Amino acid sequence: MNTKIIETKVTVSSFEELDPSNQNLINKAKEEVSKAYAPYSGFQVGAAVELENGLIFTGNNQENSAYPSGLCAERVAMFYANSQYPDVAVKSIAIAAYTNGQFLEYPVTPCGSCRQVLLETEMRYDKPINILLYGIKEVFLIDNVRQLLPLCFEKSSLK
């Protein structure tokens, strides 16, 4: 028997330390929270996806009284971008969450379903997706989706 150590690299920054393009993408995600439909949880999430051609697609969470029928902001934005530009790789995604009248102090991370969709998108284009997770006090910068899902189920798992 042996032990493997699996580590995740996360760079922690303030919003002000980010370059203008990352600030812009986060601001787009923050704008989306006001459009979220979250009458049950009151937890509004916005996401902004930037493609390699510079276009930005946004989305927000959409709840449903039958909880499994809703959809997270990350998947709304990612599916929207992929449906409009299926041949253009995703460069980055920014995620922001808002509840109780304010943005969260610390970043929220994507749920397991969203991580799986982000991973599939990263594998689809064979290019890393930069992840920006916004919090008032700090922002997490993550170089690729595998950092969020190190023991992942992927295409090769089906063979």
The model's pLDDT over 21-78, given as tens digits with 9 standing for 90+, comes to 999 999 999 999 999 999 999 999 999 999 999 999 999 999 999 988 999 999 999 9
Q: In the predicted model, what is the mean pLDDT of residues 143-151?
A: 92
Residue 142 to residue 52: CA distance in whole angstroms: 17
* Catalytic residue chosen out of the listed positions 74, 120, 122, 154: 74
- H/E segment holding residue 78: helix 73-84
Looking at the DSSP bridge assignments, the partners of residue 139 are 13
For residue 45, the model assigns a pLDDT of: 98
**Angle in degrees, CA 159, 78, 50, rounded to 5:** 120
What pLDDT shows up at residue 153?
A: 79
Domains and CATH numbers, the chain: 11-147 (3.40.140.10)
Is a pLDDT exceeding 80 seen at residue 157? no
Residue 158's pLDDT is 79
pTM reported for the whole predicted model = 0.94
Q: Is 74 a catalytic residue?
A: yes
Q: What's the token pair of residue 111?
A: 């749920």
